A and B are shown apart, each in its own frame.
Chain A
Amino acid sequence: GAVVSQHPSWVICKSGTSVKIECRSLDFQATTMFWYRQFPKQSLMLMATSNEGSKATYEQGVEKDKFLINHASLTLSTLTVTSAHPEDSSFYICSAIRLALAKNIQYFGAGTRLSVL
């Protein structure tokens, strides 16, 4: 099956610092990647849609200046949490759609657990 790699899997940072999370499709090209956020024992909430070569589309209520998304290639999207604060602590998961194969089956990374002190 399709493989999506997410790095790091766990990060602890001090309040006010920025954290970058990488999402890579390892064995396929992904024109579209998605970023989700999941609070403990909660559902996944879509944050933004990342399209290769264009600006990300953010869901209502998600601060685009806070959560910077870059999709520079067909295999890599990054999410940068800028000036992180404790309320940003969460589980962040990316997904990618396999180009020209099965439309809209999203393959997910293993997630990144962010803890902001």
Chain B
Amino acid sequence: AQKVTQAQTEISVVEKEDVTLDCVYETRDTTYYLFWYKQPPSGELVFLIRRNSFDEQNEISGRYSWNFQKSTSSFNFTITASQVVDSAVYFCALSPMYSGGGADGLTFGKGTHIIIHP
């Protein structure tokens, strides 16, 4: 069985502060994908990043950065110099990886609500 834990329910900061969202996962699969999605108040999920289980390089994309550590089964997400528009619920998710190209649904964490105050 797969499990994704986002221990932080809500984080509230003032604009320009950095925010780090924790994600810890459990899986028996040897190969898998990890994801982060953003869900603004409108409800639509916006894809942010996908990581392969065999690629532990950290990644930076603009103000976003991700720290994947397989040894601790963690895939943390940092927003640098936060902005009000970053206010949303952020979900970490997990799925198996199939060499044959099949696809499974995602197992989501419970989400972390980020509130950025002006």
Contact = CB atoms under 8 A, between A and B. Distances in A.
Nearest to A110: B44
> How large, as a class, is the contact surface on chain B?
20 to 34
The secondary structure that dominates the B interface is loop
A28 interface: no
Contacts of A67: none
Given A43-B110, A104-B33, A91 B105 contact: no
Contacts of B106: 34, 44, 46, 95, 106
B104 interface: yes
A111 B43 contact: yes
Tell me what chain A mostly uses at the interface: helix, strand, loop, or mixed: strand
A65 B113 CA distance: 35
Contacts of A111: 43-44
Which 6 pairs between the two chains have the least Cβ-Cβ distance? Answer: A46-B105, A108-B45, A110-B44, A111-B43, A43-B110, A43-B108
